[in-house]
Amino acid sequence: MLLLFDIDGTILQGATAAHAQSLRMALYEIYGVGDAGGSAASLPRAQAAGRTDIEIARELVLACGLSEDVFNEGLEDLKHACVSRYARLVPDDLSDCLIDGIDELLLELSGIEDVRLSLLTGNLESIARAKLAAADVGRYFPAGQGAFGSDAEDRSVLPPIARARAGTPGNPYPRERALVIGDTPRDIACARADGLRCLAVTSGPYRADELTAADAIAHSALQLGELLSQEIERGTASR
């Protein structure tokens, strides 16, 4: 069973400040929008939950009056600048941002035969892995697996990328044995775009009544573990 975990709002809470500042600083460095310190007040507001870093960046640059062509020309430089800034700003210890019980759940899941933990996040990959390393849970998510905001701007195309990496050449990991775990309607939508099931958690910014398109909703890591046990049994039975 391939379990595709979102990060912010699903594994971590309150770990986005340095990430957001890094992106704003990179926008100033590459496009000259905002200010050098990356203050939130220097740029228009943009909804971040469930979106990729590049999707957010594009919205901000266009809102500042620059063109699509200008944004696209600087895109690769933007990615490098954002990763570089975050490497300097990431806190040494983000373990206090772990959602209650999630570390224990990841440990338990990592010990189950034929269960594979992977990431599906709008974060650029280097930022995602640095963030989880600082929270001391990066070891659960192997390199070379998952899908990230650095792979595609459109979150809906990330699940097929993750399944391809989890499979063998020409044989992606089967849909019926893959599951997305996230905290936003966009997580649910990207799962559906690839024909996958999705479990939603209420530890992010959305209420349960805003996540009803998911196959099930968990209100705690304990409840998520119970739902995942059912999904793992379902996946095993489908083999």
* Predicted pLDDT at 239: 60
Q: Are residues 62 and 138 in the same domain?
A: no
* Predicted pLDDT at 34: 94
Q: Are residues 110 and 58 in the same domain?
A: no
Average pLDDT (89-117) is 96
Residue ending a domain, choose from 89, 112, 144: 89
As a whole number, the mean pLDDT across the chain is: 96
Q: Are residues 149 and 46 in the same domain?
A: no
Digit-coded pLDDT (tens) for 1-53:
999 999 999 999 999 999 999 999 999 999 999 999 999 999 999 988 899 99
Q: Are residues 132 and 188 in the same domain?
A: yes
* Predicted pLDDT at 124: 98
User: Do 182 and 201 form a contact (C-beta atoms < 8 A)?
Assistant: yes
* Predicted pLDDT at 89: 97
Q: Are residues 21 and 10 in the same domain?
A: no
Q: Are residues 164 and 51 in the same domain?
A: no
- Is 237 a residue whose pLDDT tops 60? no
Helix (H, G, I), strand (E, B) or coil at 218: strand
Confidence band, pLDDT 50/70/90 cuts, at residue 234: confident
* Predicted pLDDT at 71: 97
Q: Which range marks the domain in which residue 218 is found? A: 2-14+94-237
Q: Are residues 201 and 178 in the same domain?
A: yes
Digit-coded pLDDT (tens) for 116-147:
999 999 999 999 999 999 999 999 999 999 99
CATH number at residue 53: 1.10.150
CATH number at residue 103: 3.40.50.1000
Specify the number of domains making up the chain: 2
User: Do 87 and 8 form a contact (C-beta atoms < 8 A)?
Assistant: no
Q: Where are the alpha helices (DSSP H) in the chain?
A: 17-31, 53-63, 68-73, 75-89, 102-110, 125-134, 158-166, 185-193, 221-237
